[in-house]
A = this chain, B = another copy of it.
Amino acid sequence: MPIAVAIVEDDPRIRESLTVLLRGVDGFRCVGSHASAEEALRAIPAEKPDVVLMDINLPHMSGIDCVAQLKAKLPAIQVLMLTVYDDSDMIFRALTEGASGYIIKRTAPDKLLEAIREAHTGGSPMSPHIARKVVQYFHQRGPARHETESLTDREREVLEQLAKGYLYKEIADALGIGVETVRRHLSNIYGKLHVHTRTEAVLKHLQDHPAAR
Residues of A with Cβ closer than 8 Å to B? 68, 88-89, 92-93, 95-101, 118, 121-129, 131-132, 134-135, 137-144, 162-165, 167, 195, 197-200, 202-203, 206, 210-211, 213
B100 touches A165 (CB 8 A): no
Partner of A131, one of B124, B138, B141, B199: B124
| A131: B residues at CB distance < 8 A | 101, 123-126, 131
Q: How far is the CA of A123 from the CA of B131 in the complex (A)?
A: 7
Residue from the set A97, A123, A198 with the largest chain B CB neighbour count within 10 Å: A123
Name 14 extra pairs, CB < 8 A, besides A97-B143, A125-B131. A92-B138, A93-B144, A96-B139, A96-B142, A96-B143, A122-B129, A123-B127, A123-B132, A125-B128, A140-B213, A164-B203, A165-B197, A167-B197, A198-B199
Nearest B residue to A202 by beta-carbon distance?
A: B199
Q: In whole angstroms, how far apart are the Cα atoms of A207 and B113 in the complex?
A: 34
**Please, how many angstroms separate the alpha-carbon atoms of A124 and B137 in the complex?**
12
Contacting residue for A98 out of B125, B139, B197, B198, CB 8 A:
B139
B138 touching A95, Cβ below 8 Å: yes
In the assembled complex, the CB of A122 is this many whole angstroms from the nearest CB of chain B, namely: 6
